[in-house]
Structure 1
């Protein structure tokens, strides 16, 4: 196989949407930091929604982006927590996959801490092939051709081979 066509993990993003700031968001940040080993970033609301009691630019969630070995380690833990099964509908047309878990204590190695509580979280995996830097660099930026983008089928095959995931 051509080494430029090998699919690899570009990044893994863990997200906990709390819906409010304050103590609950601080506990969610502590959980993400404990799980990933990195300091999470707060995300802010884009619009005001009086039904949910949210104002514009109010912190409502936190996320952490992982790359390299940390990303693979967290992804393996997360997949074990959901039983190494994914639906084909969880993959988008560009090969990215997103999944969620209702309680973080389902993930192996995570224990219940009464000071933190129980949180659900979402995980998104972004795949790429070597050569995608042309889309991110500053000088002579180019678009990635359609044939070099990761397709849904390639991402599914990668997950089956590397992580022994069953597609339901």
Structure 2
């Protein structure tokens, strides 16, 4: 079992149950999955970019990334239906806990002038999305081999019903929210 999964089970879950007054252990919010997404609009013209992004996202997540394709043709962007425009990965269970641990303890502190994560990314249903401007903050990425930095979206899907419960869960797990 992952270190962070043990922290959740032994400390965070009982504290959340006490804070919000849950009667059943099934009511306690938990993280269902973490979704990583890299969007590359210019990949429609340069196929090498998409292959590089898939390799790097696979290294970061430890799971094979899937290429996302355009759903509709948009003439203004020179985009045709079915062209590759990005890649994504959905992590669950052990890989999810390992990724969250690495994100909170290794990657986010490596961000230049880091003051915390803004808490504006909640969707009203307990899920949280944050953006990372440069994917090279992850220790798995060899900076010398990266041609250009890529941004990524990271979405935490939780079983929490409100944003307050979700924020409390993420804060107790170690998410460094901006004060």
What range describes the TM-score normalised by the shorter chain of this pair? 0.7 to 0.9
CA distance in 2, matches of 1:72, 1:116: 29
Query: Where does structure 1 lack aligned partners over 5 or more consecutive residues?
Result: 129-148
1:96–1:124 CA contact under 8 A, matched in 2: yes
Query: Deviations for 1:74-94, whole angstroms, at most 9, x for unmatched residues?
Result: 223334425482323211111
Matches within 5 A, 1:143-154: 150-154=161-165
CA distance in 1, matches of 2:59, 2:171: 28
SS at match of 2:145: coil
* Alignment match, 1:49: 74
Matches within 5 A, 1:134-145: none
1:155 aligned to 2:155?
no
Displacement of 1:69 after TM fit? 2.2
SS at match of 2:76: coil
Aligned with 1:62 (options 66, 78, 87):
87
TM-score normalised per structure 1: 0.78
* Alignment match, 2:143: 112
1:74 aligned to 2:99?
yes
* Alignment match, 1:134: none
Q: 1:154 to 1:115 in 2, by over 3 A?
A: closer
SS at match of 1:51: helix
Q: Cα RMSD between the aligned structures?
A: 2.0
Query: Where does structure 2 lack aligned partners over 5 or more consecutive residues?
Result: 1-16, 18-23
Q: 1:89 to 1:164 in 2, by over 3 A?
A: closer
CA distance in 2, matches of 1:153, 1:50: 42
Aligned with 2:156 (options 84, 105, 125):
125
Query: Deviations for 1:31-80, whole angstroms, at most 9, x for unmatched residues?
Result: 01111111111111122122222111211111011001211222233344
Q: Which has the higher helix share?
A: 2
